[in-house]
Chains A and B, each alone.
Chain A
Amino acid sequence: MKIDWSALGSVFGVSLAVTVGLVALFTLGVMGLSHRERATAQGGSAALATAGAYVAFAGCAAAVAYGINLIMAKG
């Protein structure tokens, strides 16, 4: 019986790294938006935080696009 430990290991590593990375990136994006929300509430603006948020979300969107690509490429 041959157990494919390396495949299991890479699934483990990739899942862990990608999940933590994506969630962290998304959290940064949400933090940026929250910052803007607080800033606008006080009458100010937060251009940098907003831009950062959109960059973070774009990264997440790219990851989703790659995921869809993986689903399609199985054919």
Chain B
Amino acid sequence: MENFSLILAIVVITALAFDFTNGFHDTANAMATTISTGALKPKVAVAMSAALNLVGAFLSVEVANTISKGLVDENGIRPEVIFAALVGAILWNLVTWLVGLPSSSSHALMGGLIGATVASAGFGAVHGDVLVTKVLLPALAAPVVAGLAAMLATRFSYALDRKADGKAAEKGYRAGQIASAGLVSLAHGTNDAQKTMGIITLALVAGGAVAPDSDPPTWVILSAGLAIALGTYIGGWRIIRTMGKGLTELQPRQGFAAQTSAATAILASSHLGFSLSTTHVVSGSVMGAGLGRKGGVVRWSTATRMLVAWVLTLPAAALVGAGAESVTDLGDWGTAVVAVFLVAASAAIWKVSRREVVDASNVNETEEPAGVVTTAIAAVTPPPPGAVTEGLTATIPAPVTTTEPAAPPAAV
């Protein structure tokens, strides 16, 4: 660990901070429907997801080894560029969390990386075609693939077995949902914790602390796994609420279909070499499962807001990354300014979030009193006409206490 300069230490800490935001941003992907259908208690769900993320982080280093290849020229990447990229990604993750919108952490990271690289080395250093084939097209394909699969599976399941009442059915679908949600968590750990490992390793290589082409050092694997698990356990409750309750209402069977479709699409895509973002896959499968049941509704206003967030993710993170990179370029004090700005902005976002706390106790309540969150959402998109009656801002007629499915007898 010779040559461990201050800037490297900053990059490593920032990367772990990103890993942490990635964890709590993406808890929703695995656990939102599990929590909203009542298959698991909120705290139990996030604990299970955290443990599986940690396990997943140790399963392989393949993703870490391929990170950053292709999208930007690795030659001449300095630690400052990576730092600026991470700043963009973290801030975008925090902003989307504040407004409760699921958005892809990978896109945020890539956006930050692209912005910082452009600011540092010009547009020539970004491969535009790779951007389209690896980022934009998968983002369009993911929700369609997973959504269609979830919709057809739900429809088929209801056609097979119209009744599915009774304790056995209820218990069965819940167990199935927990299993497939666990699989999503595991896959998330292998993919996303490793992205951070890859970033840290890239920084270490760029800073000359480890030899090029080496595997991530053990302490990198360990700390990245722990950071993502901790973030997952803290739980991005705002996003869980949007994903589990905001998009549509799911019964345990639909939750099972959604999670199964998500797990399948994620595994199939990473295995067949067409990587899809977990966030996009899960959002699509939740909507598909919602549409698959007769009488199921999707709140399109929420879906639209989510879509806007997806479109904005890359450019927004890129813009912040580019800005941060230009400031770090001014010298060491510039880097210090960016670091202080990151901490101050994160603290400010957290402070704003405290005005209206969403946590394990109220994660399943859909009613959102007009407050800072709704104002923030309104700033993101002007509500379409009619949104008043269907949006999250509206008072949803069902009383809060009846949103839970009728509790099964204590024998469960």
Q: Which residues of A contact B (CB under 8 A)?
A: 1-4, 7-8, 10-12, 14-16, 18-20, 22-24, 26-31, 33-34, 36-38, 60, 64, 67-68, 70-72, 74-75
Considering the chains assembled together, what is the distance between the CA atoms of A10 and B267 in angstroms? 12
In contact, A70 and B169 (Cβ under 8 angstroms): no
Closest chain A residue to B138, Cβ basis = A8
Considering the chains assembled together, what is the distance between the CA atoms of A14 and B268 in angstroms? 7
In contact, A15 and B157 (Cβ under 8 angstroms): no
Considering the chains assembled together, what is the distance between the CA atoms of A75 and B269 in angstroms? 16
Interface centre among B169, B190, B261, B267 (most CB of A within 10 A): B267
What are 10 residue pairs bridging A and B, where the CB atoms are less than 8 Å apart in the complex?
A: A1-B132, A15-B145, A24-B156, A24-B157, A26-B157, A26-B256, A33-B168, A60-B179, A71-B59, A74-B63
Q: Which residues of B contact A (CB under 8 A)?
A: 56, 59-63, 129, 132-133, 137, 141, 145-146, 148-150, 152-154, 156-157, 160-161, 163-169, 172-173, 176, 179-180, 183, 186-187, 190, 253, 256-257, 260-261, 263-265, 267-274, 276
Q: Tell me if B's interface is mostly helix, strand, loop or mixed.
A: helix
Considering the chains assembled together, what is the distance between the CA atoms of A16 and B1 in angstroms? 48
Considering the chains assembled together, what is the distance between the CA atoms of A71 and B276 in angstroms? 15
B411 to chain A, nearest CB (A): 12
Instruction: For B260, list chain A residues within 8 Å (CB).
Output: 19, 22-23, 26
Closest chain A residue to B184, Cβ basis = A67
Considering the chains assembled together, what is the distance between the CA atoms of A1 and B156 in angstroms? 38
Instruction: For A26, list chain B residues within 8 Å (CB).
Output: 157, 172-173, 176, 256, 260
In contact, A27 and B161 (Cβ under 8 angstroms): yes
Q: B60's contact among A4, A30, A75, by CB below 8 Å, is which?
A: A75
Q: A38's contact among B141, B166, B270, by CB below 8 Å, is which?
A: B166
In contact, A15 and B273 (Cβ under 8 angstroms): no
Instruction: For B257, list chain A residues within 8 Å (CB).
Output: 19, 23
In contact, A7 and B272 (Cβ under 8 angstroms): yes
In contact, B268 and A18 (Cβ under 8 angstroms): yes
In contact, A71 and B190 (Cβ under 8 angstroms): yes
